[in-house]
Amino acid sequence: MADLSALPGGKSPWQSAARFGLYTLLLIFAAYYILPLIVVLSTSLKDLDEIRNGTLLSLPSEINFDAWGYAWNEACIGVSCTGLKPYFWNSVAMTIPAVLISTLLGALTGYSLTKFKFKGANLIFAMILFGCFIPFQVVLLPMAQSLGYLRIANTVPGLVLVHIVYGLPFTVLFFRNYYVNIPDDLIKAATIDGAGFFMIFWRIMLPLSPPIIVVTIIWQFTQIWNDFLFGASFTTGGGQPVTVALNNLVNTTTGVKRYNVDMAAALITAAPTLVVYVLAGRYFVRGLTAGSVKG
């Protein structure tokens, strides 16, 4: 007799019901987590009268980008009324070189510790790895003293150096764990053919590294762009990154509180990391698992 409990495609009613329940649960969680973003975006597109007279979850009756323009160009942050624009570009000038340099140094160090082993390599890696567990607050004083000695305190290059130093243990960890799964025979063959340290790195290791490079760039970009503590501790005034400027903007009280401007400023600050994850988020997961199984 035919099995009446099975549906076309070999799935039972229980399996279909379980899948439907799973998708329903996922949609509920997705709605729960995306609701604050919808509220922030909706509020940023309203004028003040509509915010006062409407409800928190109501959509704007008319889309209005005035709050965005004000937050970008005119909002008063402390004593300066230049908006987020200069601080946003401070963050760009800080994040891009810090990400690129820390990624390159992490790749070189991870390569050295795995393919050109030397006496004490494991000890050095353990000491570098220890840096991943040092809280931000512990390094504030020595970092401030070092920046003062180098005469780059309260500057964007000073923040670049801080994030390179603090991010290096993570980038070394990522690349070291990735490179350890690349066969040593490739390096031996290249060495026999006369290739040196840097030629092997540029011609062999880097072309094999796109997955872990993507992981490292996304990790570093997110950590550096979203940093508040270092920016607030090592910079003042016009040299601050956008995260510190956002905090100052929200806490600046000049007349009527403009919630739409605060929401627009928050979205402007978060936009780069959102874009990075939307465009490259799937490669982040692939990069984390790449090389996890040797052979």
Residue 73 lies in a domain: no
Residue 1 lies in a domain: no
Residues of the chain below pLDDT 50: 1-2, 4-7, 293-295
Taking the chain, what is the end-to-end CA distance rounded to the nearest angstrom? Answer: 48
Structure tokens of 207? Answer: 């072309």
Residue 182 lies in a domain: yes
Structure tokens of 83? Answer: 């908006």
CATH of the domain at 128: 1.10.3720.10
Question: What is the model's pLDDT at position 11?
Answer: 64
Report the amino acid identity of residue 99: V
Do residue 277 and residue 139 come from a single domain? Answer: yes
Do residue 48 and residue 133 come from a single domain? Answer: no
Residue 5 lies in a domain: no
Do residue 109 and residue 55 come from a single domain? Answer: no
Find the DSSP H helices in the chain.
13-44, 48-53, 66-73, 85-115, 121-130, 140-149, 156-179, 184-192, 197-200, 210-225, 229-234, 242-250, 259-289
SS3 80: strand
Do residue 122 and residue 233 come from a single domain? Answer: yes
Do residue 41 and residue 122 come from a single domain? Answer: no
Do residue 203 and residue 142 come from a single domain? Answer: yes
Question: What is the model's pLDDT at position 287?
Answer: 66
Question: Which structural domain, as residue segments, surrounds residue 49?
Answer: 13-64
Structure tokens of 113? Answer: 């510790």
SS3 187: helix
Do residue 106 and residue 163 come from a single domain? Answer: yes
Do residue 158 and residue 21 come from a single domain? Answer: no
Q: Phi first, then psi: give them for residue 151, nearest 5 degrees.
A: 60, 35
Question: How many independent structural domains does the chain possess?
Answer: 2
**For residues 252 and 261, is the Cβ–Cβ distance under 8 A?**
no
Question: What is the model's pLDDT at position 282?
Answer: 73
Counting Cβ atoms within 10 Å, is residue 83 exposed (0-12), middle (13-18) or buried (19+)?
A: buried
Residue 284 lies in a domain: yes
